[in-house]
Amino acid sequence: MSAIWGPGTLILASWATIAAWGGHLLNKRQKRLRAVFAHDLSLATERFRKRYDLDAAGAAFWEQEFRRYFGLLAAPPGWAAKQPLGAPDSLVDDYWHELVLCTALYAAYCRASAGRFIHHHVGAGSAEAYARTWIAYKACYGAPDPLAWPAPSPLAVAWVSKTRSDGGGATDSSSTGWDSGGSQGHHHGGGDGHGHCGGGHGGCGGHGGCGGGSCGGH
C-alpha cells in the first residue's frame, strides 16, 4: 500500500524535523556548558599555583572564578556580543594569561566550551565593560566575591542598567537559556569581540608571549 502524503502529514514531518534540530542544538549547548566547568585545566592551574605561590585551595578558587568568567564569554552571542565583557583587575585575568600560554590546552578548552576560539584582550576592560561583566555574573551566579570581582563604578552600573532597559539586552539567566544557580550559569558571550592578546598587562608578552612557555608542549 502506498503512503498517502497530505498537507497535515507534511506539517507534522516539518515539526518533527524542527524538534529534532532543536534537541540537537540544546544537547550541544549542554555539552559546552559542562565543558566550561569540567574540562581538565589542571596543567594551567598547577603552573598558576606555582607562579603565585598559592596553596591548592587558593589556586582552585581562582580557577573556578576564571571558569565562571569564561562561561560569560562562551555562551551563544547575545547583547554582550557587540558590547564586550571586561575582565576584572584581579587574578582572574592572570589565570587567563596562564591558560593562554598553554596553547593547545586553551585551544581545546575553547573548542569544547565555546565552539570557537576566544581571544584574550583586556583592552576591552573599560569601566562600562567591567560593569557589564559584574552585572551578568551577579545575575547568573549570585553575589560576586569582592576578592575576585571588586565592585564596579556606580556610574558605570547605572549606565549599563539604563542601556539594558532601553533595549540593549538582558543579562538574566532567562534571556540566555542558562541556569542561574551554582557554578553552572549560562551567560551572553562577548568573546567574538575580543581581539589579540594585549591590554593592561602588556599583553601575553608579559609571560613570554602567547606562544612562549607553552606548558610542556601545549
φ, ψ at 93 (rounded to 5°): -70, -35
d(CA 195, CA 121): 6
Helices (H), ranges, the chain: 7-38, 42-51, 56-74, 91-101, 103-114, 127-141, 154-163, 173-176
Q: What is the pTM of this model?
A: 0.67
Per-residue pLDDT at 38: 96
Record the cell numbers describing residue 64, joined without a space. Answer: 573556578
Burial of 140 (0-12, 13-18, 19+ CB in 10 A): buried
Residue-level pLDDT, tens digit, the chain, 218 residues: 455 555 555 565 555 555 554 455 558 888 988 999 999 999 999 999 999 999 999 999 999 999 999 998 887 554 445 667 888 888 999 999 999 999 999 999 999 999 999 988 755 568 888 998 899 899 989 999 999 999 999 998 898 888 766 655 444 443 333 443 333 333 333 343 333 323 333 333 333 333 334 454 44
Report the candidate in 22, 25, 105, 27 with the shortest Cα–Cα distance to residue 70: 105
Distance between first and last Cα of the chain: 61
